[in-house]
Every structure is written in C-alpha cells, then in structure tokens.
C-alpha cells in the first residue's frame, strides 16, 4: 500500500530492525551493571553516543538519549525557564510543531514573542533579529512537518552564537532526510527516531555545552546524570545505525527525489484545476507536499484515497486527533476555510517514482466525485 504519511511516522527500516533484534539478543544486559557482558552493552551505548555526536558536530557529553522530540523539547525549555528570571521572554516561531508550542506555553506562559513567517512559511528575518534581541532564547525548527518548509537554521545559529542567545532547534523532520552535519551549531537540538526508520519511543536531545545541572528526569546516574532510567540500548543503537545509513548513502539521492516531488506537483496542478502547492516558493524537504485543494474537505479526500490504497494526511497527526485546523496553515495567512481543504503528502526513501505518479492519478480520479458532491451535497456511496 503506497504510504505517504512519513512525517507522521515511518515504517521500521530493515537495518534498524536487524540492529534492534541483534542488540536484544547480544546486549540485553543493563549497561550500568558491573560484569563484562554489561560492559559490552555500555561500550555499545558509548559508541552510539559518539557516532551521533560526530554526525551532529557535537561533543559526546552533550548527547542525551530520550524517548523522542516531545520529551526533549519539554526538558530543554523547562531548563531554560528555570535558568531565566520570571520576567524572561523567548522568541518562538509560530509554525513550530504543537509539541514545541505546548512546551513554550507551559514553561514561559504568555512570555512568548511570536515570530511570523511569510506566505511560504519561511521566517521573516528582520523580525527575528528584532525580537530575538533581549529575549532569553530563540526557538525555530529546521524543517516544518506540515509543509516541509526549510528554515534558515544555519543563519539563526550563527546569529544566536554572535549574540550569546540559546538557540533551540527542532530537527525532528530534518534528520534522516538531509545531512545533519552542523546542526550542533544550535545549542539545543532534538529529534525522534521513528521519523526516520527507527523504533518508536527513542530520540535524543543535544544539550548546550554550557548547560549546568541539566536533568530531564531524576533517577539513577544514567546519561551522565542528565536522565535517570535504564537506557533502551536496542532502540538507541538502531536509531544511530539508521541515521548513519541515511548520512552515508540515502541523502545522496536528494536531488533525484526532489525531481520526483516536483513532477508530482506539476502533474496534480495540471490535472486538477485550482490546486495550489502551499509554500511553493520556499526550499522544502524533498519528501513533503502540502496541497490546498479547490473543493472537498480533507477528510473526504483522505477516505477516498484510502479506498484506492493510498495513505495520506491533512497535517500533523497530533493536531488531527484534537480535530483542530492547522495552526501552521493559519500562521501562513490562509483562511480557516482553506485549512479544511489541505492534504499533506509525505514520502519516504522507499517510495518509488511510480508511487508518486500513481498517487497523482488517484487524486485526479477521485476529484470529479468530490467536486460533484460539493456542488450537490449528495455523497456517493
Ligand atoms: N517536532 C516535529 C517537527 C514533529 O513532526 C513531531 C512529530 O510529529 C514532533 C516534534 C514530536 O515528535 P514525537 O511525537 O516523536 O515526540
């Protein structure tokens, strides 16, 4: 079944699966125990940490393995809030994932300076410069989960470095899709393994080199004292192994995949009059397309395509469940009515060019019925 919802989660990659099974067979011991088999597990943990640090350009001691992006951002912002005075404000991009927005509101309440984007979902630079100055930290993602829009994170890291401002960067949708070298230029960076082929429930937070007494949760002395709790070595190892695979081999295919995405967009906009690609003029991830359909509620398109064997989405899985319309689309200046007609399509490395073509054909095939239903109000069963 062609799966086009990779930004929600990815299938377990065969390499990650094999690594996970092997680690469970060979290194199931507690890495903190004192006998030799436990030491072997500990060596594996250290090795995974060193490799991840190297890919990001970080120091090993800055890597904390966590359960994923949500835990990581809460821990990072809780720490920053505790360090800051009660008056401190942070600058936060409006199109962040709801996990990040919730953490910002939880730890900084109303002390948030909102950063706006243009119609393509890319930050307005002069505003960032102005609002970042005098704030306690800057929070801007590397790439957006709904539109794929890429933010100028390298430039933000450089700016924040110059102004001694902590920069918190959500790399959940960047990792495994594009090279991750240089991400550690941001003080705080985090990701979730299940977004790039690793098991669910494992991720990491790269902490600031100047963070003192940082802790996500008290407990044992695991993770250099930053996060208590027995580590899930099989998942950590699998996550780093699959990231290595992406770094060394997969990201080299980016330009080919960008072409496939572009061909899909051309085909759909040609075949269905009035379709618009959200963020069309921005640099976007090779795997993500957000379409504004001219008619038909998103749920109806999703249901029709599901019947034809295609799995797509209308935005962030977290927001879908709460039945909210997308805050990302609204922040980009689209109306509430537009937000009801958004389709998010996100491919994976295993997606073939023919899958993209077949999806474009399926959208074209269901369009007349959806248009007729909208005109008559009669649903065809
Ligand atoms: N940040 C982004 C950009 C995401 O896409 C997601 C998941 O959709 C998250 C954070 C939260 O990740 P998790 O649910 O794995 O904690």
67 lines ligand 1 (CB under 6 A): no
Q: For the packed helices 353-376 and 298-307, what is the interaxial angle rounded to 10 degrees? A: 130
160 contacts: CB under 8 Å, gap ≥ 6: 132, 138, 166, 167, 186, 187
Helix (H), strand (E) at residue 55: helix 36-56
Predicted local confidence at residue 321, as pLDDT: 54
> What does the pLDDT read at residue 279?
97
Task: Convert the pLDDT of each residue in 192-224 to its tens digit.
Answer: 999 999 999 999 999 999 998 999 999 999 999
For residue 358, the CA-to-ligand 1 centroid distance in Å is: 28
Report the separation in Å between the CA atom of 13 and the middle of ligand 1, taken as the mean of its atom positions. 18
CA separation for the pair 371, 160 (Å, rounded): 49
Distance 168 CA to ligand 1 centre (A): 14
What is the per-residue pLDDT for 379?
A: 59
- pLDDT recorded at residue 315: 78
pLDDT the model gives residue 319: 56
**Helix count and strand count (H, E) for the chain:** 13, 10
pLDDT (tens digit per residue) in 274-287: 999 999 999 999 99
Question: Closest ligand 1 atom to the C-alpha of 73?
Answer: 10
Ligand 1 centroid–CA 36 distance in Å is 37
Ligand 1 and 170: CB distance under 6 A: yes
What is d(CA 33, CA 39) in angstroms, rounded to the nearest whole number? 7
Contact 161, 44 (CB under 8 A): no
- Mean pLDDT (whole number) for 182-188: 97
Asked whether 68 lines ligand 1 (CB < 6 A), one says yes
Mean pLDDT to the nearest integer, 258-281: 98
Instruction: Please report which confidence band the pLDDT of residue 373 belongs to, taking 50, 70 and 90 as the band edges.
Output: confident
What confidence score (pLDDT) does residue 137 get? 98
């Amino acid at each position: 079944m062609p799966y086009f919802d990779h930004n929600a989660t990815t299938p377990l990659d065969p390499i990650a699966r094999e690594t996970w099974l092997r680690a469970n067979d060979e290194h199931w011991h507690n890495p903190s125990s004192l006998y030799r088999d436990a030491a072997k597990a500990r060596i594996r943990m250290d090795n995974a940490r060193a490799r991840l640090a190297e890919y990001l350009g970080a120091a090993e001691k800055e890597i904390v393995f966590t359960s994923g992006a949500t835990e990581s951002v809460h821990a990072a912002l809780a720490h920053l809030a505790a360090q800051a005075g009660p008056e401190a404000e942070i600058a936060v991009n409006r199109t962040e994932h709801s996990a990040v927005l919730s953490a910002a509101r939880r730890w900084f309440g109303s002390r948030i300076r909102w950063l706006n984007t243009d119609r393509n979902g890319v930050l307005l630079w002069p505003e960032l410069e102005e609002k970042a100055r005098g704030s306690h930290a800057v929070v801007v993602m590397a790439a957006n989960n709904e539109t794929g829009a890429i933010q100028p994170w390298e430039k933000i890291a450089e700016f924040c470095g110059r102004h001694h401002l902590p920069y918190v960067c959500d790399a959940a949708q960047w990792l495994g899709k594009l090279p991750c070298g240089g991400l550690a230029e941001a003080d705080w960076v985090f990701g979730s393994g299940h977004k790039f082929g690793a098991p669910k429930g494992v991720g990491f937070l790269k902490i600031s080199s100047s963070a003192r007494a940082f802790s996500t949760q008290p407990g044992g002395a695991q993770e250099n004292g930053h996060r208590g709790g027995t580590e899930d070595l099989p998942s950590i190892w699998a996550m780093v192994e699959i990231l290595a695979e992406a770094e060394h081999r997969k990201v080299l295919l980016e330009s080919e995949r960008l072409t496939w995405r572009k061909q899909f967009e051309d085909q759909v906009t040609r075949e269905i009059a009035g379709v618009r690609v959200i963020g069309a003029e921005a640099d976007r991830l090779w795997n993500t397309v957000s379409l504004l359909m001219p008619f038909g509620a998103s749920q109806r398109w999703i249901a029709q395509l599901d019947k034809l064997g295609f799995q797509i989405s209308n935005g962030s899985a977290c927001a879908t469940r709460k039945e909210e319309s997308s805050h990302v689309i609204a922040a980009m200046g689209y109306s509430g009515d537009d937000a009801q007609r958004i389709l998010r399509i996100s491919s994976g490395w295993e997606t073939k060019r023919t899958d993209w073509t077949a999806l474009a054909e399926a959208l074209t095939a269901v369009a007349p019925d959806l248009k007729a239903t909208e005109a008559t109000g009669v649903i065809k069963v």
